[in-house]
Structure 1
Amino acid sequence: MEQNYVAERSISPSTGVERWVVADARTFDLHVEVCAFLAGLRSKGRSPNTERVYAGRLALYLNYCAQRRIEWWRPGFMALSGLQQWLVTTPLPARSRRCPTTAAPRYRSQGTANAVMTAVTDFLRFGALLGWVPAQTAGLVSEWMLCRSRPPHSCRPESSRSRRPSAAAPVPTRLGAPDAHPARAFLGGLDSPRILPVCINLPAQSTV
């Protein structure tokens, strides 16, 4: 899958603080909303390892959405189900370029797929609280989480009404948002809207 977004460890040149961020793979512009969510994890005292894992999982989600032209801030019921299925049926990248092409493909476990989906739902709910993910999406996410634990026949995809965007739904500011974006309130200490030149390229684990 094409890597439109990457998880990176950044270092502030003024404070020396290391933080995990998600950025555009070409321009290294920060993804403001994901970085705000990661900052929220730090404010709750989550460990740097938790922050790293969530960064990798959310970069994976953004890449999945970009490849399928899904609006990440309002995925449908079927889009979430499709993501979970994709996670367990798509082979993982080779551990290294030296791995023989004849090696048996590796796949994510169902537990790993569930962990990725938990990161995605946590992120979307966080965005709904701040107003840059529609409340309708938060409700759909909750419905999807409940359906995940039920027999398949007891759940149904969203109706045509739930797929229709609400006229009052907020439109999130895109990458490269101005400083007025509400998510930037969570980004205190990041000196620039871009990954800093001293950023250490250390992708999150490829097994997410």
Structure 2
Amino acid sequence: MKVQHVIMPSSRAESWTVLGDGLMPIEPVERFLAYLAAIERSPNTVKAYAHDLKDWFAFLAGRQLDWQRVTVEDVAALVAWLRLPPGRSRCW
């Protein structure tokens, strides 16, 4: 999974996306980031959300969780995961 910088071909507007397996955009993330761009949020804001959403979807994938079916306990586990020291925070 990775965050990718994009330039819109028609408008040359700058934005960001999150690519998953097969280097394809993650659809719910793509929709949300497109919404942020449509309401003219700063590219830096869109980039920050893209990185956070990449972490969220990486966490979900590592635990084989569906983003539409997460529980409060899953969100609490994400917070604990994010608090791990660098180098350990992305290990399963």
TM class by smaller structure: 0.7 to 0.9
Structure with more relative contact order (C-alpha pairs < 8 Å, separation 6 or more): 1
Task: Give structure 1 regions of 4+ aligned residues with deviation exceeding 4 angstroms.
Answer: none
Rounded to whole Å, the distance in 2 between the matches of 1:29 and 1:12 is: 16
More helix, by proportion: 2
Rounded to whole Å, the distance in 2 between the matches of 1:66 and 1:56 is: 15
1:67 maps to a residue whose letter is G
Query: 1:79-120: per-residue Cα shift (whole Å, max 9, x none)?
Result: 0111111111x2224xxxxxxxxxxx9x8xxxxxxxxxxxxx
* Residue 92, structure 1, aligned to residue 75, structure 2: no
Rounded to whole Å, the distance in 2 between the matches of 1:11 and 1:49 is: 14
Give the match for residue 64 of structure 2.
69
* Residue 79, structure 1, aligned to residue 86, structure 2: no
Give the match for residue 52 of structure 1.
47
Give the match for residue 31 of structure 1.
26
Rounded to whole Å, the distance in 2 between the matches of 1:29 and 1:43 is: 21
Rounded to whole Å, the distance in 2 between the matches of 1:49 and 1:73 is: 27
Deviation at 1:66, TM superposition (A): 0.3
2:6 maps to a residue whose letter is S
Deviation at 1:14, TM superposition (A): 4.9
1:91 maps to a residue whose letter is P
Rounded to whole Å, the distance in 2 between the matches of 1:39 and 1:86 is: 27
* Alignment gaps of 5+ in structure 2: none
Give the match for residue 15 of structure 2.
19
Deviation at 1:7, TM superposition (A): 1.1
Rounded to whole Å, the distance in 2 between the matches of 1:49 and 1:17 is: 13
Aligned identity (percent) is 30
The DSSP-based 3-state class of the residue aligned with 1:73 is helix
Query: 1:164-187: per-residue Cα shift (whole Å, max 9, x none)?
Result: xxxxxxxxxxxxxxxxxxxxxxxx
Aligned length: 89
Rounded to whole Å, the distance in 2 between the matches of 1:46 and 1:18 is: 11
1:41 maps to a residue whose letter is L
Deviation at 1:32, TM superposition (A): 1.4
Normalising by structure 2, report the TM-score: 0.83
* Alignment gaps of 5+ in structure 1: 94-104, 108-208
- CA RMSD, 1 decimal: 2.0
Give the match for residue 6 of structure 2.
10
Rounded to whole Å, the distance in 2 between the matches of 1:49 and 1:36 is: 17
Give the match for residue 139 of structure 1.
none
